[in-house]
Amino acid sequence: MRRRSLTVLMALSLLFVSACGDKPDLEGPVDEDLTVIGMCQVGAESDWRVANSESMKAIFTEENGYHLLFDDARQKQENQITAIRKFIQQQVDYIVLMPISEAGWDSVLQEAKEAGIPVILVDRRVDVEDQSLYAAHVGSDFLREGQRAATWIEQAFQEAEKPVRIIHIQGTLGSTAQLGRTAALEEALAAHENWELLVRLDGDFTQAKTYEVMTQYLSSLPGRGEIDVVYCENDNIAFGALQALEEQGYTCGRQGVNIITFDATRGALTECLNGRISLAVECNPLLGPLVEEVIQTMEAGRTPEKHHYVEEQIFTTENLSAALLERRNY
Ligand code: AHR
């Protein structure tokens, strides 16, 4: 699979460095035997994302036979597209793409295909007509995650005689994680006449944005609102919502406002163990080893399976312990 010319690769890489201000570690010569991976990460918007990047960096090391060119797109799709084009010029062996949103990938993935560079999608997916534009996808089943959250609400409120009042705070609009988790809640809202959607807010998967929109919403209410559930599409949204709610005098937990979150990073599990978050649905960020398996399959000349979904579980105060939290490595 080693097809690049080293001199060209290094020269183009230096151009890339000056063009985007990043500093990929290409100062020394790149060993011909290393597999070069061009990686387009969304950014560092959440604790999950940071853990995901660390998982990739831990596996794609020179000791393991790789040279990793890591690009942080700072949550902009145009930056991801620019990075892919540079990786194509650099003739990397594989492109690993965590797409920020599903739409808008056909042209650039076609360019990668024409250059003979396999693209592996990680975490989220792309909406393209031609499925041969990517070799494989490794990530979570976001719809299933949302359905597990909806089942929890159903069980927690099965005796409810009053409407179940829900606030929905969404992640980055158009991303697979948002689309799947939103679709699950929408299905459940349609199936339960007594569930009432109070408001839908855009939290963009970040704590700061959520704190702002949630504070604004709560302040706009005439008095203390009756809120049963806040369906937060990731942990950082949950942290922002929790902060805004508590500042305005709400109690969070099973006896008050039930916060539901996705990711289940250590911070959220700690709040869950403390009882301030009612449910944490796991979204596993440790995808590096699975991506490597896909690459090794291709290096061996075999075709990888198209979709690889990771095993995930759900957490409540009942199945959490301090020992589990200590073992949690993200
Ligand atoms: O696509 C996965 C989602 O993206 C995670 O839930 C979120 O934390 C991240 O930013």
**Could you identify the residue written with the tokens 């690889």?**
308
pLDDT of residue 15: 44
Give the position, in ligand 1's atom list, of the atom nearest the Cα of 42. Answer: 10
Tell me which residue has its CA closest to atom 6 in ligand 1. 234
54-90, pLDDT tens digit by residue?
A: 999 999 999 999 999 999 999 999 999 999 999 999 9
Q: Are 84 and 62 in contact (CB under 8 A)?
A: no
* pLDDT one-digit tens code per residue, 271-321: 999 999 999 999 999 999 999 999 999 999 999 999 999 999 999 999 999
Round to whole Å and give the CA distance between 282 and 308. 16
Distance from Cα 231 to the centre of ligand 1, integer Å: 14
Q: What is the pTM of this model?
A: 0.92
Do the beta carbons of residue 288 and residue 58 sit within 8 Å? yes
Give, for ligand 1, the residue of 42, 49, 138 to mutate: max count of ligand atoms closer than 8 Å to Cβ: 49
Residues present in the chain in total: 330
How many angstroms is it from 52 CA to the middle of ligand 1? 9
Question: Residue 16: pLDDT band by 50, 70, 90 thresholds?
Answer: very low
Q: Above 80 in pLDDT, residue 251?
A: yes
Alpha-carbon distance of 112 to 117, in angstroms, equals 5
Residues 185 and 157: their CA atoms lie apart, in Å, by: 15
The answer to whether the beta carbons of residues 277 and 261 sit under 8 Å apart is yes
- Ligand 1 contacts CB of residue 205 (under 6 A): yes
Our measurement of the distance from residue 217's CA atom to the centroid of its chain's CA atoms, rounded to an integer in Å, reads 26
239 lines ligand 1 (CB under 6 A): no
